[in-house]
Amino acid sequence: MNQEIERKFLLRDERWKALGQGVEIRQGYLSSHPDRVVRIRIYGKDAMVTIKSRTVGMTRGEWEYPIPLADAQTLLDEVCQRPIIDKLRYRIPYAGMLWEVDEFHGDNSGLVVAEIELNAEDQPFDKPDWVGEEVTHDARYFNANLLKKPFRDW
Q: Which residues are catalytic?
A: 29
Parallel, antiparallel, or unpaired: how do β-strands 85-94 and 59-66 relate?
unpaired
Reply yes or no: is the peptide bond before residue 124 cis, omega within 30 of 0.
no
- C-alpha 92/C-alpha 7 separation (Å) is 15
- C-alpha 26/C-alpha 3 separation (Å) is 23
Please say whether the dihedral angle defined by the alpha carbons of residues 130, 136, 140 and 145, taken in this order, is positive or negative.
positive
Residue type, 99: W
